[in-house]
Every structure is written in structure tokens, then in C-alpha cells.
Chain A
Amino acid sequence: MTGTIPPFSGFGLGLRKEHHEAFLTAQQPVDFVEVISENFMACGGRPLATLEAVRERYPVILHGVSLSLGADQQPDRAYLAELKTLARRIDPLWVSDHLCWTGLGGHNSHDLLPVPYTEEALARCIRNLTIAQDVLERPLLIENPSSYVSFPGSTLSEWQFLAELSAATGCYLLLDVNNIYVSSVNHGFDPLDFLRGIPTDRVRQIHLAGHSHGPEGMLIDTHDALVPDPVWQLYASAVERLGPVATMIERDDQIPPLADLLAELAEARGLSERVPA
């Protein structure tokens, strides 16, 4: 698989159905929108027509949740075929998914489950991502998920794992700054080590989101709240290291009025402009 994704800087939102009409009736101040790929795969009717109408007005990113890159089995070929059909139809800026597994042996959890950072898991991820990129005929962006357990057998850090994966497959990276923060609290690492450890030239996108507090001092990646101060601070550090990079607010639950999300996005834009290059 060959292919490159040129840098694209700008500020966007995760498009949710509550805001479809607003995006279609007026031009919103965003440089791109991101949609969940699976919501538009193997479907027609109003959902697909809406996405095509949005695509006429804005660049679109396809963000997937079901590739199951880290599973001990090969990717679902029918899934990849449907994703390829959608990508051809939408001509997205890029296609992304997560460093996770979602199921095994016909049981799909519909969750982003954690991968042990072992050589065996890295080999599976490299094999599976290579298959996916070959079928899709494009390099993907891979996002770091939040996690709530770690595995005693891990021999690599998450950032080392991502760096190795990118070097071996040519994939790019999507940094979810909230997820870096959540995992750093849950697993006790310095989030700046994460930023220092990833290959900056492979990062093409940043997600910003909020989280909630769980048991035993753990943070949970609920993506249902305002971006909190520690995440803004980490974002500033990320921009300092990466330079301009496509950034978006990702709200998955408790969807507020569009104006609230645009205000948060303006904050990201302002912070990015204030950070010294």
C-alpha cells in the first residue's frame, strides 16, 4: 500500500444528527466535518442523502469505530467493502479508526477495547491495518482510545506502539488529546511523554472532548462534556510540538446547541493561534 495524506489544517466538528439541518440551511464556520462511517455504510434514504448534501458544502472525514484493528483475527472483508463503497461516494479528506479491537469470533462489543502493547499484538495490528489499507487503497489515520485497564504483559508504551505501527504500515495518526489525558490519569503516565514519543510528522488530526469521573479516581472518556482545562493545556502543548493540524470538537453524547460547539471550536482556534510556532 502506498499513498500519502498531505497536511490539512483547519477547525471542524463531529457532525451529529441533531445539527444536520443547521449545516444544510446555512454555511457554518467550520473547515470540515467528521461523521461516523458506520452510520452511513450499507444504507440509503435520508441518511445518505443528507451526508451527500453536507459533502457538497464541506470537506468530510469518515471516522470509523468497527475496523477492530487489534483483534486476533483478520478484518471483516464485507465491512471493508462497504467502507470502500462509502469512501468512493463521499471522497473524504481521509478515513480513520482506532487502535483497539471491538470483538472476536462473531461477538462484537461495539466498544473500543484496549490492546495489550506487546509484540504479538503489534504484529496483528500491522497485518490487519495493512489488509485494510490495501483494500481501501489509502492510508488510514489511527486514533488513540481511552483505556481503563492495562496488561501486565505489555512491553511497549502506547506511543511506542503507535510509532511502530505507523512506521510499519505508513498509517497516519489522529491524536485524541482528551483520550491521552484520560489514559494518563488512569495509568499514571506523563501525557507529555506521549506527545514527545509520537512521530509528529504522521499526525494529521486532533480530537478535543470532555470526560467524566469514574470509580477509584479513574476518568471515563464519555465525550459528553465541555473540554476541561487540563485537556486545553495538553492541546496547547500538542500544537506547540505539531504546528497547525486539523482540530475538531468531538461530542458524542449530551449534544448541546450548535452555537455552544462552535464557541468551543472558536476557543480551540484562538488557543492555536496564540501558541508560538
Chain B
Amino acid sequence: MTLAILQHAFLAEIAADDALPPSSAGMAIYRNAYRGRLSDALATGFERTRRWVGEEAFEQAAAHYILTHPPHRWTLDLFGEAFPGLLGTLFADDPEVAELAWLEWQLQQAFAALDAPVLTATDLAEASLSEEDWARLRFIPAPGFAARQVDCDVVTLWPLLQDEAASSAPARLPESGWLIVWRQDFSPHYRLLDPAEGAALVALAGGASFGEVAARVGADGLQQFGAWFAGWLAEGLFSAMELT
């Protein structure tokens, strides 16, 4: 048996479900270790989501994820990256589950995201930009920046789950908002934005120029856009600017 055949068979056996019993006590140890390590990674990575859905439901979802999403990165820290998406499918009638899991995942990603400087209002003032420059200006988001649309008030639910399970479901938002996550200094932050502010920020953080976003907002909204932008700078939402 070649090394390649041996290793493919070994991996298949430890990752198989219980319909295929392990071939020896030793292989059972490897299978248990494989499942245990991945299960622990999800349980610690999604601690508050676990509290929200309950231990049994969480473990069923985790077992399904382990079978259907074998880890493929060199770091175990990224194993759970598709878990919020799977929860969205498994808990289709409870959208807060996937939204909560997304928030939990992104906060952890932001915590350890690569370092970058913070772009400040002073940096912009010192750049002496012309009106044409401003129109072409693009911004690089802060470490760990992520955004998604949410339908539930998970920002109210989040702190309630710090130590124990919460009892009542979060309120549905009157209209979909934007939940953002980023890191400032060493601390991950999150904030719920109304649809208009969220759309503008997501466009700017996604690579649209300042002029393009201003055009989308329209003349009537320019003053509001300016106020949002000043707030984003104060929150440290950008790490750099580019003139392209």
C-alpha cells in the first residue's frame, strides 16, 4: 500500500460517521480525538450561540457541520467560518440564530485580525485634498471590519447571553439594518446601523470612492453623509485612504 492510499484511507476512517465502525481501538481513539477537537472548537467559538439555541440543538448542528464541512485550513481558528451559514439553513424560521452566530464569529476574527494604523480626521486634514481628490478617494476598512444585514435586534440579545441563557427572542427590526464589527485598539466593537447609513458605509468599505457614495446618497443627503463619515472616522472604521 502506498503512503497516499494509506493516508486517504486513514483520513476517511477518522472522519466517517458511526455507520462505519472504527477498525481498531487505536483508530477509535483517532476518530474520537478528531470529532472532539472540532466539536470543542465550535463550542468555544460559538459559546453564546450555544446558550441561545440550547446544548442539544447546538450539538446536533455541530455534528452535522463536522460531517459536511471537513476542516481544510492549517488553523483550527477558521474551522467555524461556514457555521453561521449552516445555522441559517438549519434554523430558517429563527433568523436571529445565524445573525447571532455571525456576530460571535466576526468579533473573534476582529480580536486577532492583522494590525493596521487608524485613519484619523487629522490625517485627512493634513493631506490637503482638493475637491477632485475627495471624489476619487477610497478607504481601507479597519482590522476585522465586517458587515451584514440583519432582521433581528441581536445587539440587545448579545450582552444578555454573556453568562447565561436568555429567555425571550429578540425583537424583529422594523426594517433590515446593517450590523458591523471592527476592532479599535485591542477591543472588538459592534454597532447596528440604520439601512441608509449601513448602505453608505458598506459601499465605502467595499471599495467605492467617496464621490461614488456621495452620488448614491444624493444632494439632499450630503450633509447627513458628512456627519456619518465624521462619525466613522471617530470610531476608527478605516485604516488607510487611497487616491486612485
Does A246 interact with chain B (Cβ within 8 Å)? no
CB of B108, distance to nearest CB on chain A (Å): 10
* Interface 9-mer from B45-53, B65-73, B152-160, B205-213: B65-73
Does B222 interact with chain A (Cβ within 8 Å)? no
Does A107 contact B143, Cβ atoms closer than 8 Å?
no
Does A148 contact B34, Cβ atoms closer than 8 Å?
no
CB of B142, distance to nearest CB on chain A (Å): 11
With contacts A110-B38, A215-B25, A218-B26 taken as known, whether A42 is within 8 angstroms of B1 at the C-beta atoms is no
Does B2 contact A149, Cβ atoms closer than 8 Å?
no
Q: Within residues 145 to 196 of chain A, which ones have a CB less than 8 A from any CB in chain B?
A: 147-149, 151, 153, 186
Chain B interface mostly helix, strand, loop or mixed? helix
Of the candidates B4, B11, B34, B111, which one forms a contact with A45 in the assembled complex, judged by CB atoms under 8 Å apart? B111
Residues of chain A within 8 A of B38, CB atoms compared = 110
Of the candidates A49, A104, A215, which one forms a contact with B8 in the assembled complex, judged by CB atoms under 8 Å apart? A104
CB of A220, distance to nearest CB on chain B (Å): 6
Does B2 contact A113, Cβ atoms closer than 8 Å?
no
With contacts A38-B75, A79-B74, A120-B2 taken as known, whether A44 is within 8 angstroms of B27 at the C-beta atoms is no
Does B72 contact A121, Cβ atoms closer than 8 Å?
no
Does B25 contact A216, Cβ atoms closer than 8 Å?
yes
Q: Mark B1-41, 1 if CB is under 8 A from A, else 0.
A: 11110111011001100000000111111100110011001
Residues of chain A within 8 A of B75, CB atoms compared = 38, 41-42, 66
Does A267 interact with chain B (Cβ within 8 Å)? no
Does B217 interact with chain A (Cβ within 8 Å)? no
Residues of chain A within 8 A of B76, CB atoms compared = 38, 110
CB of A126, distance to nearest CB on chain B (Å): 13
Would you list the 10 A-B pairs with minimal beta carbon distance, nearest first?
Answer: A44-B115, A148-B26, A149-B26, A43-B112, A72-B4, A46-B186, A66-B74, A216-B25, A72-B3, A44-B114
Tell me the B residues contacting A by CB distance below 8 Å.
Answer: 1-4, 6-8, 10-11, 14-15, 24-30, 33-34, 37-38, 41, 70-77, 79, 110-116, 143, 183, 186
Tell me the A residues contacting B by CB distance below 8 Å.
Answer: 38, 41-49, 66, 71-72, 76, 78-79, 101, 103-111, 113, 116, 118, 120-121, 124, 147-149, 151, 153, 186, 214-216, 218, 220
CB<8 Å pairs between A and B, sample of 19: A38-B75, A42-B75, A45-B110, A48-B112, A48-B115, A103-B71, A104-B11, A107-B70, A107-B72, A109-B11, A109-B15, A109-B71, A110-B37, A110-B79, A111-B33, A121-B3, A148-B25, A149-B24, A151-B6
